[in-house]
Structure 1
Amino acid sequence: MLRLLDFIFAFFGLLFLWPIFLIIMVFGYFDTGSPLFFQTRVGKNKKPFTLVKFRTMPVDTASVATHLVEASSVSKFGSFLRKTKLDELPQLINVLKGEMSLVGPRPNLFNQVELIEERDKRKVYNVRPGITGLAQINEIDMSNPTLLAEWDQKMIQKMTVKNYFTYILATVTGSGSGDRVK
């Protein structure tokens, strides 16, 4: 059921939001010269996939977890995209492809060994990663791998259609800030 909801929302989101994508692409081109950001992340069953987002930092920024990046690395336009969560919109493509869900644990990098170990213990990789989730709306980021994995596990165990919509609504209305630059 949730996969069907993911597909419907991602399809119509991309269909109706393409003008916003186009505007962000143009501004992003002038901001960083490369408006889209692609990065290999850990997916369901630890299968790698390429996450796509709008770029918020210069092209040569190190590929590390967001909480390890300096705030000065984020461009002015990138800061706007992050505050409004518009940088996440291209992930609708990942959702449409079945690599992600709208709601699930945020996908981490393969070099985040401690987080991978904590999530393995709690079987977090048995589900698709998501654009948002319980940890993000409660401002729990990847800087505390054990706490994050615990909240991810709690979300997975209590996932219902109602909670799915609750997490999406909380994200859209601005609850939490998820993985944020310090």
Structure 2
Amino acid sequence: MDGKLQNTNVEQISNFSWYRDVCKRFFDFMFSLIGIVVLAVPMLIVAIVIKIDSPKEQILFRQKRVGKNNHEFTIYKFRSMRQDAPHEMATKNFENPEAYITPVGKFIRKASLDELPQLFNVFKGEMSIVGPRPLIPNERKVLELRNEYGANKILPGITGLAQVHGRDEITDENKATYDGKYALNISLLLDLSIIFKTIFDVIHSRGVHEGKIKQKDV
């Protein structure tokens, strides 16, 4: 992307927007509150199953992630891996993720149930329902690209434009491009389309890939 165009896009994202800066936060607050209430029993069941599966380990997985304006926050997820799994590494970079994912974790990851506690992050205002997925601080390459595209100027999300365009199967460059495109074009219609596409993808387990994608022999 051309440098001047990048600067123009970043400036445009910085300008006030009624939907992005007011309405979207109201919707996030209401939807996360409703989601926490409606999904309280399913989340309790998942928590109990995780505890039964590994009584001595924690139910929740907490990790530092990069949020809006590059401010770090603690993300909440249901623990799907053993406690001794590498903590400051994205799962997509694992050589052998299967060695760390628990039997219960395999199921809840496939069904995306491990993401449910992030509703509390949304409720607190640290995340949005829709936005760029929050990255680990050491994912510097994608963070730098997001800075160039202005994607770090908005709240990260539980799901996002990159997630419905390949998720784990696209390159870091493509992810950052989609994140920048979303930040520049945030709208209610776009958010609704991403949410419905996410539901469809979760049902069909599309775009999910554990560990490094091995290149096929040519």
TM > 0.5 fold call: yes
In the TM superposition, residue 96 of structure 1 has moved relative to its aligned partner by 0.2
Structure 1 residues not aligned, in runs of 5+: none
Number of residue pairs matched by the alignment: 182
2:137 to 110, 113, 122: 110
- Corresponding letter in the other structure for 1:24: V
Residue 51 of structure 2: SS of its match in structure 1? Answer: helix
Using a 3 Å threshold, how does the CA distance of structure 1 residues 141 and 121 change in structure 2: closer, same or farther?
farther
Structure 2 counterpart of 1:21: 43
Root-mean-square deviation (CA, aligned residues, Å) is 1.7
Whether the 8 Å CA contact 1:43–1:128 is kept in 2: the answer is yes
How do residues 16-165 of structure 1 correspond to structure 2 at under 5 angstroms? 16-32=38-54, 33-63=57-87, 64-69=89-94, 70-72=96-98, 73-141=100-168, 144-165=171-192
Counterparts in 2 of 1:116 and 1:179: CA distance versus 1, 3 Å = farther
Q: Which runs of 5+ in 2 are unaligned?
A: 1-22, 212-218
TM normalised by structure 2 equals: 0.79
Tell me, in whole angstroms, the C-alpha distance in 2 between the residues paired with 1:25 and 1:178: 25
Which one is further off, 143-152 or 6-15? 143-152
Q: Which moved more, 1:116-125 or 1:25-34?
A: 25-34
Q: For 2:195 and 2:53, locate their aligned partners in 1 and report how far apart those are by CA, in whole Å.
A: 29
Per the normalisation by structure 1, the TM-score is 0.93
Partner of 2:19: none
Code of the aligned partner of 2:80? T
**Structure 1 position 120, deviation (Å):** 1.1
Describe the superposition over 1:22-43 as per-residue Cα deviations: whole angstroms up to 9, x where unpaired: 1011111122432110000000
Q: 1:143 to 1:60 in 2, by over 3 A?
A: farther
* Equivalent position SS for 1:51: strand
User: What is the CA distance between 1:12 and its match in structure 2?
Assistant: 0.5
